[in-house]
Amino acid sequence: AEHQHARYNPLRDDWVLVSAHRVKRPWQGQLEKPPPEDVPRWDPNNPLCPGATRANGEVNPQYEGTFVFPNDFPALQPDAPEPDDSDHPLFRAAPARGVCKVMCFHPWSDLTLPLMSLPEIRAVIDAWAELATELGASYPWVQIFENKGAMMGCSNPHPHCQVWASSFLPNEACLEDRTQRQHLSQHGVPMLLEYAEQEARRKERLVVENADWLVVVPYWATWPYQTLLLPRRHVCRLQDLSDSERDNLASIMQRLLIKYDNLFEVSFPYSMGWHGAPTGPYLEEDCRHWQLHAHYYPPLLRSATVRKFMVGYEMLAQAQRDLTPEQAAERLRSLPEVHYK
Q: Which residues are catalytic?
A: 160
Residue 237 identity (one-letter amino acid): R
Residues in the chain: 341
- Sheet of 319-321: strand order equals 5-9, 14-18, 319-321
Q: Rounded to an integer, what distance in angstroms lies between the CA atom of residue 82 and that of residue 196?
A: 42
Reduced 3-state DSSP string for 192-205 = HHHHHHHHHHHCCC
- Binding site as annotated, residues: 22-25, 55, 71-72, 147, 153-155, 162, 176, 275, 293, 295, 308-309, 313-314, 320
Query: CA 79 → CA 99, 167, 170, distances in Å?
Result: 10, 11, 19
- Binding site as annotated, residues for UDP-alpha-D-glucose: 22-25, 55, 71-72, 147, 153-155, 162, 308-309, 313-314, 320
Q: Rounded to an integer, what distance in angstroms lies between the CA atom of residue 318 and that of residue 320?
A: 6
Residue 140's nearest CA partner among 36, 306, 331, 281 is 281
Q: H-type helices in the chain, by residue range?
A: 118-136, 171-187, 191-202, 243-264, 313-316, 325-333
- Buried b or exposed e, range 87-99, using 16+ CB within 10 angstroms: eeeeeeeeeebbb
- Binding site as annotated, residues for Fe cation: 176, 275, 293, 295
Q: Rounded to an integer, what distance in angstroms lies between the CA atom of residue 152 and that of residue 24?
A: 25
Q: Rounded to an integer, what distance in angstroms lies between the CA atom of residue 121 and that of residue 256?
A: 13
Residue 327: strand, helix, or coil:
helix
Q: Rounded to an integer, what distance in angstroms lies between the CA atom of residue 232 and that of residue 276?
A: 14
Query: CA 85 → CA 81, 91, 93, 94, 288, distances in Å?
Result: 12, 9, 8, 9, 36
Q: Rounded to an integer, what distance in angstroms lies between the CA atom of residue 104 and that of residue 54?
A: 13
